[in-house]
Structure 1
């Protein structure tokens, strides 16, 4: 029995099937934990969702920003979307089943000492605090998806405070969990820098801050294709940019072995 964390698939169904063969996946024994962004840009998002849904007994995923974007179109004003890949999913007879499954995905998955989050852990949060906020945010999403997606979009607030109103808290939790890359030394999120590194003063990758290096959990994330495969003692980044011509990567949690196609 093995558990694998898999980087951003983004509709790349063929490579996903290749990776499944490479790891010799056994659905009766093994588990797959996806880092989010199952859909968009790869051309076969519908096939990806159908395969994972058919294997939901042994597959799970956190929500990524592309997943939330598709869900916002479906549960909000999906008829106005110009995204052909989304339209293909929405037109499918099994779309309600697939999208309801996706809607119910969490913002984090814990596998022993590993914590899977699409973008990463905001460095000013403790793990316990993040889990509580993530669960509250997911509850808001499931209670009223249409209202949730009305307030989800936006880059503000950029800095966390317990004094934020409820809508601002939801937006910040979503942005930190699914969009974050660089964080300023004052704790504010930055969405303009998205490369492997930046020369902007007082701006560093979220995982370079001391609180992350003091965690008892190992953070596994996706989202940052420009960063590519990244590993240190505290975090592992698995978005190797398959949709951009890179690789689709899996990490076997038990022995930390990597597999890529």
Structure 2
């Protein structure tokens, strides 16, 4: 059995297929882990979702900000940008079923035997593993409720609260968790989330900001796998911090990490955008 972790696919399904051919991926015995953002920006979002749904137990995914935004688009809270190339997906007969399948997916995946966790964007350093599990489960449970659009998706489009404490209201806890697990990059020195800077760390000239993984963390013992931050190009300087978004949809490449051998295999963008 092999475990393969793939960075943000963003509808670059042809590139994913080539990677899986290179490693001879066998869904009857191997597992494909996705850091989320399977959709948008690339041309094959529909094919990507169909493939992961078909993999069933051979796939483990977490929701990214683009999957959550898709719920908002479907509800009419947002309009799809033409650059996201979502028309084929939204107009497909499969769309309602695929949307419900996405609603079942978590914000956190774990591999306890390897002391590994996977989220889309990262892990707040002030959370221990119990808090990470509790807050991610809070969001997943809320997404399963009949009123999930009003309770989770509609209030999602705001950056408050920027900081976390246990006394926040339920709606604020949900919103903070979504922002932290699917949008986090830089933090202020007091722990507040920053949403503006998307640069590589060495190009950010705001003294009060540091990457989330540069803070002392209550989960330092864990290997953290994430995507979302293409500007990192996989470089964190820490073997326990595995950044897998390498900008395939931005004409760079898609990265597949083989856990057992600690090897990374890449596939360049096939059609330049």
> TM-score, structure 1 length as denominator?
0.95
* Unmatched runs of 5 consecutive residues or more in structure 2: 268-273
Are 1:35 and 1:64, in contact at CA under 8 Å, matched by a contact in 2? yes
Match of 1:220 among 197, 204, 225: 225
Match of 2:252 among 235, 239, 246: 246
Give the whole-Å Cα distance in 2 for the aligned partners of 1:22 and 1:89.
Answer: 27
Partner in structure 2 of residue 150 of structure 1: 154
Deviation at 1:57, TM superposition (A): 2.5
Deviation at 1:167, TM superposition (A): 1.2
Partner in structure 1 of residue 132 of structure 2: 130
Give the whole-Å Cα distance in 2 for the aligned partners of 1:13 and 1:157.
Answer: 35
Give the whole-Å Cα distance in 2 for the aligned partners of 1:234 and 1:57.
Answer: 26
Q: Matched residue of 2:187: which SS?
A: strand
Partner in structure 2 of residue 175 of structure 1: 179
CA RMSD in angstroms, aligned pairs only:
1.5
Q: Matched residue of 1:170: which SS?
A: helix
Are 2:72 and 2:78, in contact at CA under 8 Å, matched by a contact in 1? no
Give the whole-Å Cα distance in 2 for the aligned partners of 1:57 and 1:96.
Answer: 21
Give the whole-Å Cα distance in 1 for the aligned partners of 2:65 and 2:10.
Answer: 11
> TM-score, structure 2 length as denominator?
0.91
Are 1:183 and 1:206, in contact at CA under 8 Å, matched by a contact in 2? yes
Are 1:73 and 1:81, in contact at CA under 8 Å, matched by a contact in 2? yes
Give the whole-Å Cα distance in 1 for the aligned partners of 2:81 and 2:231.
Answer: 26
Assess, with a 3 A threshold, how the Cα gap between structure 1 residues 79 and 246 changes in structure 2: closer, same or farther. Answer: closer
| Equivalent pairs, count | 259
Q: Matched residue of 2:230: which SS?
A: coil
Give the whole-Å Cα distance in 1 for the aligned partners of 2:186 and 2:87.
Answer: 32
- The answer to whether structure 1 residue 77 and structure 2 residue 79 are counterparts is no
